[in-house]
Amino acid sequence: MKYKARTFRKKLLGYFMLFTAVIFTVLWLLQTVFLQSFYNGMIIRNTISAANKIIAFDSDITEKLDEISRDNSLLVYVTDTDGNILYSADEYKKGHHGADENDGFAQMKGRKDGRFHYRELPDNFDEFRKDLYASENGEAELKTEQMYFYGKYIDYNGDKAILYLGTNLNPVGSAARIIRIQLLIVTFLSVAVGFVLALFISKSFSRPISQLNDKAHTLGENSDNTEFHKGFCFELDELNETLDKTDGKLKQNKEFQNELLANVSHDLRTPLTMIKGYAEMIRDISHEDEQQCAEDVAVIVREADRLTALVGEILEYSELQMKETEDILTDCDLSEVVNSVTENFESLFSKDGYIFERSIAENIHVRGNSSRLTRAVYNLIDNAVRHIGDDKWIGVTLKAENNKAVIEIADHGEGIPTDELERIWDKYYTSRQRGGKGVSGLGLAIVKQTVIQHGGMCSAVSEVGAGSVFRIELAML
339, 375, 392, 416, 439 from 350: Cα distances, Å: 15, 21, 10, 25, 22
Q: What's the pLDDT at 321?
A: 61
> For residues 153 and 138, is the Cβ–Cβ distance under 8 A?
yes
Q: What's the pLDDT at 284?
A: 77
Q: What's the pLDDT at 371?
A: 83
d(CA 383, CA 459): 14
> For residues 132 and 151, is the Cβ–Cβ distance under 8 A?
yes
CATH for the 35-170 domain, from 3.30.565.10, 3.30.1360.10, 3.30.450.160, 1.10.1240.10: 3.30.450.160
The alpha carbon of 473 is separated from its chain's Cα centroid by a whole number of angstroms, namely 39
> For residues 209 and 201, is the Cβ–Cβ distance under 8 A?
no
Q: How high is the mean pLDDT in each 10-residue block of the chain (477 residues)?
A: 56 76 77 72 88 80 82 88 87 48 38 52 88 89 88 87 87 66 78 78 75 75 65 75 80 72 61 78 76 81 74 67 62 92 86 90 90 88 89 93 93 88 74 49 82 90 90 91
Q: What is the CA radius of gyration of the chain?
A: 50
Q: What's the pLDDT at 31?
A: 67
> For residues 421 and 388, is the Cβ–Cβ distance under 8 A?
no
d(CA 129, CA 86): 15
Strand partners, 472: 407, 458
Q: Is residue 333 helix, strand or coil?
A: strand
Q: What's the pLDDT at 433?
A: 46
Q: What's the pLDDT at 103?
A: 41
CA angle 374, 378, 380 (to 5 degrees): 120
CATH class of domain segment(s) 328-475: alpha beta
CATH for the 234-320 domain, from 3.40.50.300, 1.10.287.130, 3.40.930.10, 1.10.760.10: 1.10.287.130
Q: What's the pLDDT at 64?
A: 81
Domain boundary assignment for the chain:
8-33+174-214, 35-170, 234-320, 328-475
